[in-house]
Chains A and B, each alone.
Chain A
């Protein structure tokens, strides 16, 4: 019995959408180094659709895999759909996570939402100006 599913190990070894977007429309960072997990998400959004997403993660294998999977799940999706991303969806797409690692999928959901909120608030500011 392995610690992680093959899918988790695949996303850990070959994370999708790794990196930064310099002129991102929305950036979100969650977690803290004290707990051992930090995720940072960058979104490029056009016509309320997620054109591109990149991430950086400091953390364990499940944290890296969860953020990688979360980016895959929202890429190309409308913002409204991405807002509905749940940690369960992330964990399921990874063929499950050990119970004590479920918080990694929660963090991934929060990171996406934090980036989307940043996008929304920037948009609002722009509209007001």
Chain B
């Protein structure tokens, strides 16, 4: 059976270019970048070359890039750095949003326990931060604003340049978790006034376990891992040489093809959205216009997401959901709750995130499959029965 991979927000396939670039660093050029002999120095120059390439892709200087184990580590390090700086200046207030990734929300909870005041901005029904509300929330004691570039579940793109400008105006540090955006959207840290930015390689066809944190000149990153002097003592531990090299190759490739590919992916996305909207009592999650070219997110009334995913898997489709059963907790996704979806509806969510290999035929197939599966699950759902007989009211 043909498999259609529509979960590119979870992870992406390693590109051939990245794999080819990585291979020599496992065996032939296996040297430790900290070693003085030529094998070591070759590895060292490979990661420095990667740093230059990566910096170039986001409009940064190579000195501003620190390699990490991925997006979560970069997020944690950015928050810890800003918090430490804030504490030293007596600024104990942090602004973020209600629908950030847990790699932001959980460290913020920990900082709250340490005495920080955290404001989580509303992201409204469309899943977009209101810049005026953000500016309103900034106070004398605000040390950091952290707003994700694009949301991982509903794909909404935030007004990053405007937020950056507001933060710069008020002299507040601005961090963005750009894990879903890097390699997919144009990013210029200078123009967008971004002070810190987190990225993860496996979201743009690079390898897993590698990411980076950009930090503007003048921001002294606090190490999360203490030890050797790697990464200018900002991240101890022998560098993941192959991973870093693969990340740079993947990002360079993604950036070069971004424009052309986004057109194709967005056209498929729009066709998919139009097809799924034909299903009765469903709704697209997040703003239709300001969203990642790859993201399709829906809620369907009367069904539960995990069942939906497993039946789609049987049909060869890889997708994800924000239902409680798939989140491993009793509550459905905090992102869907943040845009005002009630529990009943949030349980019936479906996320499809398309990659460059998606075809028009795949889209037609997915639409048909989702229609069949939704109809099947509704056919024996007591919730759907109550909605149809008028015992309960439709929300969507």
Q: List 9 A-B contacts (CB under 8 A).
A: A18-B380, A33-B383, A35-B343, A36-B347, A38-B382, A56-B380, A56-B385, A58-B382, A61-B306
Chain B residues whose C-beta falls within 8 Å of the C-beta of A29 in the assembled complex: 382
Chain A residues whose C-beta falls within 8 Å of the C-beta of B325 in the assembled complex: 36, 59-60, 101
Contact of B310 among A57, A61, A101 (CB under 8 A): A61
Chain B residues whose C-beta falls within 8 Å of the C-beta of A19 in the assembled complex: 380
Chain A residues whose C-beta falls within 8 Å of the C-beta of B311 in the assembled complex: 13
Q: A119 at interface (Cβ–Cβ under 8 A)?
A: no
Contact of A58 among B310, B343, B381 (CB under 8 A): B381
A27 smallest CB distance to B (angstroms): 10
Contact of A12 among B303, B310, B324, B384 (CB under 8 A): B310
Q: Which B residues have a C-beta under 8 Å from some C-beta of A?
A: 302-307, 310-311, 314, 323-325, 328, 330, 332, 343-344, 347, 380-385
A sample of 20 more A-B contacts (CB under 8 A), given A9-B310, A56-B385, A58-B304, is A13-B311, A13-B314, A18-B380, A20-B385, A33-B347, A34-B344, A36-B324, A36-B325, A36-B343, A36-B347, A37-B304, A40-B382, A57-B382, A58-B302, A58-B303, A58-B384, A59-B325, A63-B304, A64-B307, A101-B325
Q: How many residues of A contact B (CB 8 A)?
A: 27
Q: How far is the CA of A37 from the CA of B384 in the complex (A)?
A: 13
CB <8 Å contact, A38 and B383: yes
Q: What 0/1 readout, one digit per residue, does chain A (1-38) give for beta carbons within 8 Å of chain B?
A: 00000000100110100111000000001000111111
CB within 8 Å for A33 and B380 given contacts A58-B302, A59-B304, A61-B306? no
CB within 8 Å for A57 and B380 given contacts A35-B324, A36-B332, A64-B307? yes
CB closest residue in chain B, given A101: B325
Chain A residues whose C-beta falls within 8 Å of the C-beta of B384 in the assembled complex: 58
Contact of A61 among B307, B328, B382 (CB under 8 A): B307
CB <8 Å contact, A15 and B380: yes
CB <8 Å contact, A59 and B307: yes
B197 smallest CB distance to A (angstroms): 35
Q: How far is the CA of A36 from the CA of B343 in the complex (A)?
A: 8
Number of A-B contacts (CB under 8 A): 64
Q: How far is the CA of A9 from the CA of B306 in the complex (A)?
A: 12
Q: How far is the CA of A91 from the CA of B365 in the complex (A)?
A: 35
When A and B form their complex, which 7 residue pairs have the shortest distance between CB atoms, in order from nearest? Answer: A60-B306, A60-B325, A33-B344, A40-B382, A58-B383, A58-B381, A34-B343
CB <8 Å contact, B307 and A60: yes
Chain A residues whose C-beta falls within 8 Å of the C-beta of B347 in the assembled complex: 33, 36
CB closest residue in chain A, given B346: A36
Q: How far is the CA of A38 from the CA of B310 in the complex (A)?
A: 18
CB closest residue in chain B, given A19: B380
Contact of B304 among A15, A34, A60, A100 (CB under 8 A): A60
A1 smallest CB distance to B (angstroms): 15
CB closest residue in chain A, given B324: A36
CB closest residue in chain A, given B310: A61
Q: How far is the CA of A60 from the CA of B377 in the complex (A)?
A: 10
CB within 8 Å for A36 and B323 given contacts A60-B307, A100-B328? yes
B116 smallest CB distance to A (angstroms): 32
Interface residues of A in 30-67 (CB under 8 A from B): 33-40, 55-61, 63-64
A74 smallest CB distance to B (angstroms): 18
Q: How far is the CA of A29 from the CA of B314 in the complex (A)?
A: 29
CB closest residue in chain B, given A20: B385
Chain A residues whose C-beta falls within 8 Å of the C-beta of B307 in the assembled complex: 12, 59-61, 64
Chain A residues whose C-beta falls within 8 Å of the C-beta of B330 in the assembled complex: 35-36
CB closest residue in chain B, given A3: B310
Q: How far is the CA of A40 from the CA of B310 in the complex (A)?
A: 22
